[in-house]
């Protein structure tokens, strides 16, 4: 059983063509739109649920032999919902 403060990490690195990078970026965009992004590899899976407000950091370095674009997106986790044995009221959107 995982504790509330357990940390999961996921890392992937590969050489890709531009079309593949575009597909990854489109999937990230779709995940942000839907509020859930799942990352999978042969050994691990992690699901992120971005909040409505995120911190966006973009760094660009352009040198003669190599260019680099770093994109960092972070957010604070949602506080856990309180679960007690009292009254429960829910609504469902149709």
Q: What is the pLDDT of residue 7?
A: 78
Do 45 and 36 form a contact (C-beta atoms < 8 A)?
Answer: no
pLDDT tens per residue across span 47-82: 999 998 999 999 999 999 999 999 999 999 765 544
Please tell me whether the overall predicted TM-score, pTM, comes out greater than 0.85 for this model: no
Do 49 and 78 form a contact (C-beta atoms < 8 A)?
Answer: yes
Q: Is 83 helix (H, G, I), strand (E, B) or coil?
A: coil
Residue 83 and residue 26: Cα distance in Å, rounded?
36
Residue 1 and residue 40: Cα distance in Å, rounded?
21
Percent of the chain with pLDDT over 70: 77
CB-based contacts of 12, cutoff 8 Å, min separation 6: 39, 41
């Amino acid at each position: 059983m995982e504790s509330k403060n357990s940390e999961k990490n996921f890392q992937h690195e590969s050489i890709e063509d531009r079309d593949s990078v575009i597909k990854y970026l489109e999937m990230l965009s779709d995940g942000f739109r839907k509020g859930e992004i799942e990352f999978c590899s042969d050994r691990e899976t992690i699901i992120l649920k971005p909040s409505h407000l995120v911190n966006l950091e973009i760094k660009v370095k352009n040198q003669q032999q190599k260019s680099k674009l770093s994109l960092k997106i972070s957010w604070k986790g949602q506080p856990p919902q309180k679960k007690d044995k009292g009254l429960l009221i829910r609504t469902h959107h149709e």
